[in-house]
Amino acid sequence: MEKTKVTTVAAVVAAIVGSLCCIGPVAVVVIGVGSIGAFSVFWEYRPYLIGLTAVLLPLAFYLTYRKREVICEDGTCKIESASKGNKFTVWFAAALAGIAIAFPFFNLTNTTSAQAMLLQDSAVRPGISRVVLEIEGMDCKGCAKGLEATLGNVKGVKKAAIAFEQGRAVIEYDSSKVKPDQLVASVDESGFKAKISSMGRKEKQQ
């Protein structure tokens, strides 16, 4: 039974670690401590860790559901299978591992909002400016979500939205409180790379 537990836990840990590149930035947003870009290193090892999970989970199921011959004190023997609790644990672990592996594909960002901000000039209120940043280093939508929250917390930023597929951040800000270069620096400090897009800034002063 110890082998089953070790195998099950190892499978879940491998799945979670393999997805830390995307789970980590979201966790940082929730906790409010750490660099979201620091988790991108796990992306390189993700295929290997998912492969390890794919090996360990079936092994955990095999160890759980196989029939065991148990020798009793009186010399007789009987066939036993794992308890319902152990079976529930391995199925729960499989579900948890599945969620962890699928996490990078969850739709976590405001891509629609980012596109709308680009198209609707009227969305810029008096005294508010808009800048588009080109972002490098985002591996998945988890990274984008973390960066979106980071930019949204910068003093003077009114709204920030990330279009992950386009690698862009669209930011509306109070130009009297923050400048585009400071927004670029904020992205760089998060562990990614940013530059002001050739799409430029859109400002509306009324």
Write the pLDDT tens digit of every residue in 184-196: 999 998 888 999 9
Higher per-residue pLDDT: 27 or 128? 128
Higher per-residue pLDDT: 3 or 34? 3
User: Measuring CA to CA, which residue among 120, 178, 114 is closest to residue 144?
Assistant: 114
**pLDDT score at 144:** 84
HSE, CB side, 13 Å, CA atoms: give it for residue 100: 24
Rounded Cα gap, residues 170 and 148, in angstroms: 9
Instruction: Give yes or no for residue 69 having a pLDDT over 70.
Output: no
User: Measuring CA to CA, which residue among 205, 143, 204 is closest to residue 169?
Assistant: 143
Residue 28 pLDDT class (50, 70, 90 cuts): low
Residue 70 pLDDT class (50, 70, 90 cuts): low
Rounded alpha-carbon distances, angstroms, from residue 156 to 95, 172, 186: 42, 9, 13
Mean predicted confidence (pLDDT) in 124-148: 84
**pLDDT score at 203:** 45
Q: Can you give the pTM of this predicted structure?
A: 0.62
The structure tokens listed for 62 are 């095999």
Torsion over CA of 181, 148, 161 and 156, rounded to 10 degrees? Answer: -50
Residue 32 pLDDT class (50, 70, 90 cuts): low
**pLDDT score at 16:** 82
